[in-house]
Structures are given as structure tokens and as C-alpha cells.
């Protein structure tokens, strides 16, 4: 039985630029053979059982040579596997995808080509440079910059290319930048023609250097800009200052440490990335469900006896209703019991179970929940409060003072994760993090514990907390807090960071 190979374009760097078909292929793959410039986040969509094989290449070092990669594709397909060959950009544009397709065709291996967004147009677009424009350029040429233009048998017709095309885009040309500039001038292109060198385009690490054909090589050498980079030559480069958008985002290039659980980190990371941040995930907590929770089971058996069911986190909602299902019950058990959610994220978690919160306090903190009951007679009424072990006692105390009978049940613990965090930790200790975010008191406590005697490295970054309770924990532990979100939610935290960065730019 023979399998099938998909030659898939991963796009230019931004993982959100992958196509829907490419994402589907990854989700169905048995084997993924991927390149150096592929964003690792794309591999999160691959089945856990799939085999991942890295075949990346960089100057002076090839994991596998091209003929070996070709044979690997053939061999894996002959094993009956669904194989995804994941290549940066587009597989048929200077990506040697044609050679791989030939090898598959020669062995009668079924294959499909899934085109990708090419860096030749996407990277200039992210730098604010349209490769064509009615007033500046009607023609475009995409050229390999990897070929040495000074060798005698160059396949590039420099005499025609230099003046025959409005916009020139060179891929993989950084090592030959000076020679490319010399050939263009020698063959008639004006030395004053604008040039842009764009490194790691479409990612938060993007750098753009602008010059002319005459001075770009010297500027690049002085700036230290290096591959992977793309070179754009032509008058369209003049539009960059007016049209640049990606590197003007408020958080662009900021390295932000995300300390949430691995499962929850992606939500915050995605929001930060949309505003240009480079996120570094260092999960400091893991949610551990308390097993064999007889107290919770007894409460579920008597749910209609409670007037209110209060949730102080999305975690508590998910764990509570998971247990409800495990006991063979559903939301009908609630009867007339009303629901209170601490904030919109917790309310959204309830909505996923088809339930609408009866109450969300104006401030998304536990104290505000108690305050919301002050004008209501809850004397003698039973309230069920399933939440994290070790949560602050103030909410239970204040509800009790109002006469309520509160049944507080610990249903999960926030524990130190077992995941390998050495890479992220080293970045923090090396001073490579700009901003540290905390979304709960546990994230602060556990990061300080994780860093041990070197915990003060956190204070070398700007510290942002989701709310006053988290900020108070940080202050108690000696962590300096620079930003506290006005709205105690993940979007509120991101907005607070945006405002803080804008203030910083105004001051500078």
C-alpha cells in the first residue's frame, strides 16, 4: 500500500498566513517533514501520534542533502503514510519543491501541491512596500540571490533584468548583496534606486533597512542585519514610510513573558501577537483536579438546595461541569439555582455549557462578588462555591457576614508544571525579556519559586498584572508592578500594556 505526499507551503513566517488546505493536511498527517524557517506553532496542529522529521538547511549546514530529502519522502510514502512536506513560503517558488515532485513522480508516488503565501510578496507587504503600484511599478521579477552573480556561467540575465523590470525581489541574497548591487549598477540601473532589506519578515522579529543600490551593502554590514532576509529593489520602496503598518504596532518587537498554564497561554499569546509582540511562554502553573472529591459529589447530589452557585474562574466552571457529566448528570440538576460568574471569561465558560450568568459584578474580583449581594437578603440561603484550593478567605467571610451559608469546596490546585521551561527561564535570566505578565497570584508565586535566588530578574522587566489581587501578591513577594489592568481580563491586560507602551514612546 502506498501513501501520499502533500508538498505544502507554510507561508512566509506568520503562522496565521497558512492556508486552510495546508492546515487540513497537517491535521491528517502521519509524517511531517519540515524546514528551518517553519514556525513551530504550525506543528501544534499535527496529530500527537505523527512523526516529526526536521530537515532544515542553513548556510554551511544541511541536516539532509536534497537527494536524501527526496528519498525520505518516497520511503515514507511507500510505508503507506500520509506525508506532509512542510516548506517555508511556496514550495514551487525557489523552494526546490519541483525537484521533490519529480522524485515522487519518478517513483509513481501520489502527491499534491498545496501552494503557500510566498515571502516574495508577503514580506514586502508587512514592511509597507507594495511590489507593484500604478504610479511606480507595473512589473515584478523574483530572483534567487543565492547564485553568485560573479561566476562565469550565471543563469541570470543581468543586462535585461537590471533595467527591464520595475521591482526586483531577491530571495536568499544577503551573502551576495554587494555583488548584486554591483551587477545592477554595471548593467544600467541607477545607483540611487531605493532598496530595502527585510529580515525575518512577517514575524515580530522583523527588521527593515532602507538605502540605495549604491550604499545598501555598506549599511547592511554596519547594521549587522543578516539572513534570513529578502531584498527589494525599486521605486516602490519609497512608499514604505507612508504605508508601513506592521512594525508600527504598539507592542511590536517587545518580548513578553506569558506565565499562564500551557493550555491557557495561547489565548494571551495570540492577543499579544496581534499587536506585534513576540511572546515567550513559561507556564508557571498547571491545573490539577482534586481526585475522588466526595464533598463535590455530595454537593452535586443536592444542587437544587443551593440558591446560588458562584464561579471565580473558568477553570472551576470546566472542572465542575466535567464532574457533573462524569456522574451522569447535566445542567438540569441546577433547578432554580442562580449562577454568578466573577467576570466575562468565566461567564463565557458557562455559555459554552449553554448557561447564562445571572450575575457578573462590575469589578472582576472576589470582593466585588460579596459587595454585589449587599443589597439582597441572602440570610439563611445556601451558596455553593467550588474553586481553587488555598483561595483567599475574604469572599467566604463576607458572604457569611451577610447571613449566607457558604459551602466552599476545593476542586483543583494550581501546581508547578512538569513542562521543560529551561529555554524561557534562561531568556528571562539573560535579560532578554521586556515584559512579564501575571494573570493570577499563583503565577507570581510559582515564577518566584521557579527562579529561586534569582527571582529579582523579574524586576529587570516591566511587570504587568491582570488585577489588584495579583498585583498585591507580587508586591508582597518583592516584585515591582508597573502595570495593573483596569479591566481584570485578558483583553484588559493586553490593552493596559498597549497604553503603557504608548506612554513610553511619548516620553522617549
Residues 302, 375 within the same domain = yes
**What is the percent of the chain where pLDDT is above 90?**
85
Query: Can you tell me the mean pLDDT for 143-148?
Result: 80
Residues known to be catalytic = 35, 57, 172
- What distances in angstroms separate CA 461 from CA 65, 270, 430, one per listed residue? 43, 21, 11
Residues 212, 302 within the same domain = no
DSSP calls for 219-258: HHHHHT--SSEEEEESGGGGGHHHH--GGGSTTTT-EEEE
Reply yes or no on whether the pLDDT at 149 is more than 60.
no
Residues 434, 363 within the same domain = no
DSSP character at residue 287: E
Instruction: Record the cell numbers describing residue 508, joined without a space.
Output: 522617549
CA 260, CA 285: separation in Å to the nearest integer? 6
Residues of the domain holding 307: 289-413
Residues 99, 165 within the same domain = no
C-beta of residue 209 within 8 angstroms of C-beta of residue 225? yes
Report which secondary-structure segment, H or E, holds 48.
none
Residues 310, 373 within the same domain = yes
CATH number of the domain at 171, please: 3.30.950.10
- pLDDT digit string (tens) for 324-341? 999 999 999 999 999 999
At 5, is the secondary structure helix, strand, or coil?
A: strand
Residues 334, 429 within the same domain = no
* Residue 199 phi, psi dihedral angles, 5° rounding: -100, 140
Residues 15, 113 within the same domain = yes
Domain boundary among 68, 101, 117: 117
Q: Which residues contact 183 (CB under 8 A, 6 or more apart)?
A: 149, 150, 156, 158, 162
Please report the pLDDT score of residue 506 as a whole number.
63
Domain boundary among 99, 117, 135: 117
Q: pLDDT averaged over the chain? A: 93
- pLDDT digit string (tens) for 46-78? 999 999 999 987 666 668 999 999 999 999 999
Residue/partner pairs of 35-44 with CB below 8 Å, 24 or more apart: 35/10, 35/86, 35/87, 35/88, 36/88, 37/10, 37/13, 37/88, 37/89, 37/228, 38/10, 38/86, 38/87, 38/88, 39/10, 39/13, 39/14, 39/15, 39/203, 41/15, 42/10, 42/15, 42/18, 42/86
Domain boundary among 413, 445, 465: 413
Residues 349, 442 within the same domain = no
Banded pLDDT at 232 (limits 50, 70, 90): very high
CATH number of the domain at 494, please: 3.40.50.10090
Banded pLDDT at 155 (limits 50, 70, 90): confident
Reply yes or no on whether the pLDDT at 166 is more than 70.
yes
Residues 111, 125 within the same domain = no
Residues 224, 296 within the same domain = no
Instruction: Record the cell numbers describing residue 261, joined without a space.
Output: 498554564
- pLDDT digit string (tens) for 357-379? 999 998 888 888 999 999 899 99
Report which secondary-structure segment, H or E, holds 274.
helix 262-274
Instruction: Record the cell numbers describing residue 283, joined without a space.
Output: 507556564
Nearest Cα to Cα of residue 327 among 304, 302, 297, 355: 297
C-beta of residue 211 within 8 angstroms of C-beta of residue 193? no
- pLDDT digit string (tens) for 96-122? 999 999 999 999 999 999 999 999 999
Please report the pLDDT score of residue 151 as a whole number.
58
Number of domains within the chain: 4
Reply yes or no on whether the pLDDT at 420 is more than 90.
no
Reply yes or no on whether the pLDDT at 355 is more than 90.
yes
Residues 381, 442 within the same domain = no
- pTM over 0.75? The answer is yes
At 121, is the secondary structure helix, strand, or coil?
A: helix
Residues 380, 316 within the same domain = yes
Q: Regarding predicted confidence, which is higher, 418 or 64?
A: 64
Banded pLDDT at 171 (limits 50, 70, 90): very high
Reply yes or no on whether the pLDDT at 469 is more than 80.
yes
Please report the pLDDT score of residue 507 as a whole number.
55
**What is the percent of the chain where pLDDT is above 70?**
97
Amino acid at each position: 500500500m502506498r501513501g501520499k505526499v502533500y508538498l505544502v507551503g507554510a507561508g512566509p513566517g506568520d503562522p496565521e498566513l497558512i492556508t486552510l488546505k495546508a492546515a487540513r493536511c497537517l491535521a491528517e498527517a502521519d509524517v511531517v517533514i519540515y524546514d528551518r524557517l517553519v514556525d513551530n506553532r504550525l506543528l501544534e496542529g499535527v496529530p500527537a501520534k505523527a512523526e516529526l522529521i526536521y530537515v532544515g538547511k542553513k548556510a554551511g549546514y544541511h541536516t539532509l542533502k536534497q537527494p536524501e530529502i527526496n528519498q525520505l519522502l518516497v520511503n515514507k510514502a511507500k510505508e503507506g503514510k500520509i506525508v506532509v512536506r512542510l516548506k517555508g513560503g511556496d514550495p514551487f517558488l525557489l523552494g526546490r519543491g519541483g525537484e521533490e515532485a519529480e522524485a515522487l513522480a519518478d517513483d509513481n508516488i501520489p502527491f499534491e501541491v498545496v501552494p503557500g503565501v510566498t515571502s516574495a510578496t508577503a514580506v514586502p507587504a508587512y514592511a509597507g512596500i507594495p511590489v507593484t503600484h500604478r504610479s511606480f511599478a507595473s512589473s515584478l521579477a523574483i530572483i534567487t540571490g543565492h547564485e553568485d552573480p560573479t561566476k562565469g556561467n550565471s543563469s541570470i540575465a543581468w543586462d535585461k533584468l537590471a533595467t527591464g523590470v520595475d521591482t526586483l525581489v531577491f530571495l536568499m541574497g544577503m551573502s551576495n548583496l554587494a555583488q548584486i548591487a554591483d551587477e545592477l549598477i554595471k548593467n544600467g540601473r541607477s545607483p540611487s534606486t531605493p532598496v530595502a532589506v527585510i529580515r525575518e519578515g512577517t514575524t515580530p522579529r522583523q527588521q527593515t533597512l532602507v538605502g540605495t543600490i549604491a550604499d545598501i551593502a555598506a549599511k547592511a554590514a554596519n547594521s549587522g542585519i543578516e539572513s534570513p532576509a529578502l531584498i527589494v529593489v525599486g521605486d516602490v520602496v519609497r512608499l514604505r514610510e507612508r504605508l508601513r503598518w506592521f512594525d508600527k504596532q504598539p507592542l511590536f518587537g517587545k518580548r513578553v513573558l506569558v506565565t499562564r498554564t500551557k493550555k491557557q497561554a495561547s489565548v494571551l499569546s495570540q492577543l499579544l501577537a496581534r499587536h506585534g509582540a513576540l511572546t515567550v511562554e513559561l507556564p508557571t502553573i498547571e491545573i490539577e483536579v482534586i481526585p475522588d472529591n466526595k464533598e463535590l459529589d455530595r454537593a452535586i447530589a443536592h444542587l437544587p438546595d443551593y440558591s446560588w452557585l458562584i464561579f471565580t474562574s473558568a477553570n472551576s466552571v470546566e472542572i465542575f461541569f466535567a464532574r457533573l457529566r462524569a456522574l451522569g448528570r447535566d445542567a438540569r440538576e441546577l433547578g432554580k439555582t442562580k449562577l454568578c460568574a466573577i467576570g466575562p471569561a468565566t461567564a463565557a465558560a458557562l455559555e459554552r455549557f449553554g448557561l447564562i450568568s445571572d450575575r457578573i459584578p462590575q469589578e472582576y474580583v472576589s470582593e466585588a462578588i460579596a459587595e454585589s449581594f449587599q443589597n439582597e437578603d441572602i440570610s439563611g440561603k445556601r451558596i455553593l462555591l467550588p474553586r481553587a484550593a488555598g483561595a483567599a478567605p475574604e469572599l467566604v467571610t463576607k458572604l457569611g457576614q451577610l447571613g449566607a451559608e457558604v459551602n466552599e469546596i476545593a476542586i483543583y490546585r494550581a501546581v508547578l508544571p512538569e513542562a521543560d521551561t529551561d529555554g524561557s527561564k534562561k531568556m528571562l535570566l539573560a535579560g532578554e525579556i521586556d515584559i512579564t505578565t501575571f494573570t493570577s497570584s499563583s503565577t507570581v508565586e510559582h515564577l518566584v519559586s521557579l527562579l529561586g535566588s534569582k527571582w529579582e530578574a523579574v524586576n529587570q522587566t516591566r511587570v504587568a498584572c491582570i488585577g489588584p489581587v495579583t498585583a498585591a501578591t507580587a508586591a508582597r513577594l518583592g516584585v515591582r508592578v508597573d502595570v495593573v489592568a483596569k479591566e481584570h481580563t485578558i483583553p484588559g491586560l493586553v490593552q493596559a500594556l498597549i497604553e503603557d507602551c504608548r506612554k513610553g514612546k511619548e516620553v522617549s
